Structure formats: structure tokens, C-alpha cells
């Protein structure tokens, strides 16, 4: 899989979860992909100060990204 294809799959995953984040006043953006296995994202808006943002990151964002791109091992929030 090319890096463009991987980026496309990750963007599709973020589009899938974005409406849930936006409904709570937040958002997410892709910062970058390292070694084809780690994804860096930035939680935005209400997600920044949310007390459950780590849970959202792991159980929502990471699971959705792994569904679209199984080779991804870790999703990291860059503040």
C-alpha cells in the first residue's frame, strides 16, 4: 500500500468518526503518519479540554482507524 493510499484510508476513518466529535463541539485532524504504523492526530475544539478524550482517542478514533487500516499500531494525540 502506498503512503497516499494509507493517508486516504485514515482520512476516511476520520470522516467516519468526525460527526460524533462535532456533535459534542469537537473535531479531529490528521497531523501525520510515522513508519506506516503510527498516526498522529490533533483533537480540536471541545475535545481538547474533555476529560474523556483519551478514552475517545483509544476506543473511538484508534478502533475506527484500525478498521480502515489494520497495519496501524498506535494513534497519538498531538496537542
In the three-class reduction of DSSP (H, G, I as helix; E, B as strand; rest coil), residue 52 is classed as coil
Residue 42, pLDDT score? 95
DSSP for 27-78 reads: EEEEEEEETTTEEEEEEEEHHHH-TTHHHIIIIIIIHHHHHH-TT--EEEE-
pLDDT the model gives residue 43: 92
State pTM to two decimals. Answer: 0.89
Domains contained in the chain, CATH given? 3-77 (3.30.300.130)
Q: Once rounded to an integer, what is the mean pLDDT over residues 30-39?
A: 96
In degrees, to the nearest 5, what angle opens at C-alpha 34 toward C-alphas 28 and 38? 60
Residue 76 has pLDDT above 90, yes or no: yes
Amino acid at each position: 500500500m502506498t503512503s497516499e493510499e494509507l493517508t486516504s484510508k485514515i482520512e476516511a476513518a476520520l470522516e467516519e468518526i468526525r460527526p460524533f466529535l462535532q456533535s459534542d463541539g469537537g473535531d479531529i485532524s490528521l497531523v501525520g503518519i510515522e513508519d506506516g504504523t503510527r498516526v498522529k492526530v490533533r483533537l480540536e475544539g471541545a475535545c481538547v479540554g474533555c476529560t474523556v478524550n483519551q478514552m475517545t482517542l483509544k476506543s473511538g478514533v484508534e478502533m475506527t482507524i484500525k478498521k480502515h487500516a489494520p497495519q496501524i499500531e498506535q494513534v497519538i494525540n498531538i496537542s
